[in-house]
Amino acid sequence: MPIDIYMFKVSPPCRAVLMTALEINVKLNEKLIDPSKGELLSPDFVKLNPTHAVPAIDDNGFVMWESRAIMQFLCNKYAPDSTLYPKDAKLRAQVDMWLNMDISLYIKIRQTLVTGYYGMPVKPEDEKQLWANIKLIDQLIGNRQYLVGDRLTIADLSLLATSAGTTLLDQDLTEYPHFKQWSDGLAQSLPYYQEINIVAPEVRQQFINNMKAYMSKMKEMMNK
C-alpha cells in the first residue's frame, strides 16, 4: 500500500522527501495541499498534522511530519542497508550534522527570500545571516562531490532541495563556487532532478501571487 504524502511541489522539504523515496524505490501517493487556499489550516489537515506544515506522511496509519525525520524513517524502514543513510555511526552523525545545518539555512531562506517575495518586511540582520550561512556552507563543501564520504546521502538530497529553492527565488550562487559546483553536479547526475525540482516560471509566479493575496487577506482579518 503506497504511503500518502501531503505536499506542494514548490516546498523544498517536500521535494527532498520525494527524491529520497525515488532513491530507495518507495511509492508515494501525492496528496496536494495548497497553502494559498488556507488548506494547511483546514480541520482535516490540522488533525493529521497539528503543526500545519508540509510534508507529512501517513504510512498505513503511522503519521509523521518534518521532512528530515521522514527521510530518516523511510531509509530506516524500507532501505536499512542503503548507504543513503549509512549505518556507520560516524558517517551517520555527519549526515545528521548536515541535515541540521540545512534546517538553519532553510529557516533563513524562509525569513528573508520567501518573506520578501510575498511582499512582507525583511529584517536586515536576517538577510545578512542568510548569506553568512551560505558562505560558510560554500567553504565547508570545498571540492566535494558529496557532503559525506564518497556516496550520495539524504544530507545531499535535503540541501540540494534547499539549494534549488534559491534558484526558484531568482538567487545566483555564482559568488559561492563550491556550493554551486556541488549542486550543479548533483542536478546533472540525478536522473529525476528536473522532474522533481524544476517548477515552470508561470506556475511559480501564480503560486507567489496566490500566497501574496492569501497573506494580505489574513493580515486584514487579524487587524479587524
The predicted-structure confidence for 13-55, as pLDDT tens digits, reads as follows 999 999 999 999 999 999 999 888 889 999 999 999 999 999 9
pLDDT for 177 beyond 80: yes
pLDDT reported for residue 115: 65
Q: What is the pLDDT of residue 31?
A: 96
Does residue 183 carry a pLDDT above 90?
yes
The pLDDT value given to residue 129? 87
3-state DSSP helix/strand/coil percent for the chain, to nearest 5?
Answer: 60, 10, 30
| Residue 117 pLDDT > 80 | no
Please, what is the average pLDDT of the chain? 88
| Average pLDDT score over residue span 111-136 | 78
Give pLDDT, residue 36. 82
Of residues 5, 7, 14, the one with CA closest to residue 162: 14
φ, ψ for residue 10, nearest 5 deg:
-65, -20
Angle at 52 between CA 85 and CA 199, to 5 degrees: 65
pLDDT in tens, 187-210: 999 999 999 988 777 777 777 777
- What is the per-residue pLDDT for 37? 87
Locate 103 and state its grid cell: 534546517
Residue 128: per-residue pLDDT: 87
User: What is the predicted pLDDT for the residue at 224?
Assistant: 62
Residue 215 pLDDT exceeds 70: no
Half-sphere exposure at residue 145, Cβ-oriented, CA atoms within 13 angstroms:
7
Backbone phi and psi for residue 65, each to the nearest 5 degrees, phi listed first: -135, -175
Residue 88 pLDDT > 70: yes
- In the chain, pLDDT over 90 holds for what percent of residues? 63
pLDDT bin (cut points 50, 70, 90) of residue 219 is low
Quote the pLDDT of residue 217. 66
Give the span between the Cα atoms of 13 and 70, in whole angstroms.
10
User: Is 84 exposed, middle or buried, given 0-12, 13-18 or 19+ CB atoms closer than 10 A?
Assistant: buried
Report the pLDDT value the prediction gives residue 78, as an integer from 0 to 100.
97
Tell me the catalytic residues: 11
Domains identified in the chain and CATH numbers: 3-82 (3.40.30.10), 89-196 (1.20.1050.10)
Residue 211 cell numbers, joined: 500566497
Which residues make Cβ contacts (< 8 Å) with residue 108, sequence separation at least 6?
126, 129, 130, 133
CB atoms within 10 A of CB 57: 26
pLDDT score recorded for residue 130: 85
Q: Which helix (H) or strand (E) holds 3?
A: strand 3-7
| Over residues 62-67, mean pLDDT | 96
Q: How many angstroms separate the CA atoms of 157 and 19, rounded?
A: 7
